[in-house]
């Protein structure tokens, strides 16, 4: 795996289709990043015309990730993170937040996007005390993910499983729940599930997603907050439960966000 990113200059963007918009690149655009193409910016602008709140929701989701990782590392003593559906590197990635609190933290990123693979070198930075690794694998193969992540993480010790805005790409809700269950089953007691996805709580958001899905991109399915809550079945949700991302343990960075965004998430403990 590491050999694939040793010399990214030789083939920095292998097998990347720039003819259709891509969700990770559009998300990067909404967050102010530069890892996107004109086709992504056009799609992102068209989406925003229908649903102007998307950039606010994107920021709320990003801050939720930061607060959840910081809470688990600082308050719950978690030192291992399995971040599936990594997306493109941004400011304050999981390993940076966790290792800022606990330099010995071990982080495994998982994605199967060639653009993310091309940027894996940026994700593979780490403190000398900790470890950061990247696994090229598909969410639909939880067994392979656990097997490969086990080369870096110790599954006899608590792990924070992070599924951030990715389960919407699994079109069947029962299949998405099954994937979560298989991944959680592989974790020892004391582990946590951190998850968020976009919801169908706005008619404008639903229309924008329908237009996006019709554009030939990998479909994304909006679900209700109640459906998102089902991912946490059998786990002990931390307060405030499954809620708007901006309302999960808000801090100074989240003060400018509205109390209600259409990205809902939660953090839960496996007993």
On the question of pLDDT at 179 being above 60, the answer is yes
Examine the pLDDT at 142 and tell me if it is beyond 80: yes
Q: What is the pLDDT of residue 3?
A: 36
> For position 6, what pLDDT does the model report?
37
Q: In this predicted structure, what is the pLDDT of residue 15?
A: 62
Query: What was the pLDDT predicted at 236?
Result: 98
Residue 104 lies in a domain: yes
Which of residues 1 and 210 earns the better pLDDT score? 210
Higher pLDDT, 21 or 80: 80
* pLDDT 10s digits, 30-75: 988 888 889 999 999 999 999 999 999 999 999 999 999 999 999 9
Q: What is the average pLDDT across 244-251?
A: 93
Question: What's the CATH code of the domain at 146?
Answer: 3.40.50.150
Note whether residue 167 is domain-resident.
Answer: yes
The string of DSSP codes covering the chain is -GGGGS-TTTSSSTT---SS--HHHHHHHHTT-S---HHHHHHHHHHHHH-TTHHHHHHHHHHHHHHHHHHHHHTS---EEEEES--S--SS-HHHHHHHH-TT-EEEEEE--HHHHHTHHHHT---SSSEEEEEE--TT-HHHHHHHHTTTS-TTS--EEEEES-GGGSSSHHHHHHHHHHHHHTSPTT-EEEEEEEBS--HHHHHHHHHHHHTTSPP---B-HHHHHGGGTTSEEPTT-SEEGGGSS--GGGTTS-S--SEEEEEEE--
pLDDT recorded at residue 116: 83
Residue at 16 is within a domain: no
Could you tell me if residue 43 is inside a domain? yes
Whether 14 has a pLDDT exceeding 60, the answer reads no
In whole angstroms, give the CA distance from residue 36 to residue 115: 10
Structural domain count of the chain: 1
Instruction: Give the pLDDT confidence score for residue 24 in this predicted structure.
Output: 82
Weakest mean pLDDT among 7-11, 147-151, 174-178: 7-11
pLDDT tens digits along 229-240: 999 999 999 999
Give yes or no for residue 228 having a pLDDT over 60.
Answer: yes
Q: Is residue 224 part of a domain?
A: yes
**Is the pLDDT score of 7 beyond 80?**
no
**Quick one: average pLDDT of 216-224?**
90
209 found inside a domain: yes
- Report pLDDT digits (tens) over 185-205: 999 999 999 999 999 999 999
Average pLDDT across the chain, whole number: 90
User: Is 245 among the domain residues?
Assistant: yes
Confidence at 9, pLDDT banded by 50, 70, 90: very low
Q: For residue 88, which of 179, 23, 157 has the smallest C-alpha distance?
A: 23
What are the tens digits of pLDDT across the range 83-130?
999 888 887 899 999 999 999 999 999 998 888 888 877 888 999 999
The answer to whether residue 13 is domain-embedded is no
Arithmetic mean of pLDDT, 17-29? 83
Mean pLDDT of 193-219: 92
Which of 213, 211, 220 minimizes the C-alpha distance to 46? 211
Query: In which domain, by residue range, is 89 found?
Result: 23-270
Q: Average pLDDT for residues 255-271, to the nearest whole number?
A: 92
| pLDDT given for residue 10 in this prediction | 38
């Amino acid at each position: 795996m590491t050999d694939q990113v040793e010399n990214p200059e030789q083939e920095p963007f292998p097998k990347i289709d720039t003819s259709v918009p891509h969700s990770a690149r559009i998300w990067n655009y909404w967050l102010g990043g530069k890892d996107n193409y004109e086709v992504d910016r056009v799609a992102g602008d068209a989406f925003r015309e229908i649903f102007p709140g998307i950039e606010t929701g994107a920021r709320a989701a990003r801050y939720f990730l930061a607060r959840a990782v910081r809470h688990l590392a600082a308050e719950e003593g978690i030192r291992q993170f399995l971040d599936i559906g990594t997306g493109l590197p941004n400011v304050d990635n999981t390993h940076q937040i966790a290792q800022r609190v606990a330099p010995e933290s071990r982080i495994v990123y998982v994605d199967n996007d060639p653009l993310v693979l091309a940027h894996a070198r940026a994700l593979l930075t780490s403190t000398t005390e900790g470890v950061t690794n990247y696994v090229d694998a598909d969410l639909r193969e939880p067994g392979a993910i656990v097997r490969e992540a086990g080369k870096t993480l110790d599954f006899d010790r608590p792990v924070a499983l992070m599924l951030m805005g990715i389960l919407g790409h699994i079109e069947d809700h029962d299949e998405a729940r099954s994937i979560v269950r298989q991944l959680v089953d592989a974790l020892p007691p004391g582990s946590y599930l951190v998850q968020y996805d976009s919801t169908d709580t706005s008619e404008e958001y639903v229309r924008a997603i329908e237009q996006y899905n019709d554009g030939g991109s990998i479909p994304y399915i909006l679900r209700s907050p109640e459906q998102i809550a089902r991912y946490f079945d059998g786990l002990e949700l931390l307060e405030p439960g499954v809620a708007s991302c901006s309302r999960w343990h808000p801090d100074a960075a989240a003060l400018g966000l509205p109390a209600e965004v259409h990205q809902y998430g939660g953090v839960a403990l496996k007993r």
